Amino acid sequence: MHAPRRKTFNSVNAASLARWILITGFLALTGLIYVYLTLQLYHLGDRKKALENELTSLRSQNDVASVQIAALTSRSAMQRRLKEGYLKMIPIAEQNIVRLSVPRSRVEDAVQPVANKRAGR
């Protein structure tokens, strides 16, 4: 009659399988990190380019504003505004002028008299 048959199973080497799973997982993770960092590099490059364009725009606006300030505060512009009546100028009173003289002594700690009279006191 038939002899009892033994069922044979293909044996799986668990250590080898675990090693290949870990290697595959490590490579997959490394690839995902590489893709993520590459995309982030492109996004940061776009952001940097936008900031550089904004900086260039702000510098040009600053230059335009500096030119306008120089034009509006020039002597000829001030005289024109004075003639138009936009500005009003009054002379400085003699009592409000402070004159400084060159000190006679070279001692910096010396006390020097001051002849300022305060108006209204």
Please tell me the pTM assigned to this model: 0.50
Per domain, the residue ranges of the chain are: 18-82
Residue 87 identity (one-letter amino acid): L
Euclidean distance between CA atoms 19 and 14, whole angstroms: 9
User: What does the block give as tokens for 57?
Assistant: 């725009």
Write out pLDDT tens, residues 3-46: 566 677 777 788 889 999 999 999 999 999 999 999 999 999 99
Write out pLDDT tens, residues 55-86: 999 999 999 999 999 998 898 988 888 899 88
Please name the residues in contact with 89: beta carbons below 8 A apart, sequence gap of 6 or more.
Answer: 82
Please name the residues in contact with 116: beta carbons below 8 A apart, sequence gap of 6 or more.
Answer: 98
Euclidean distance between CA atoms 29 and 31, whole angstroms: 5
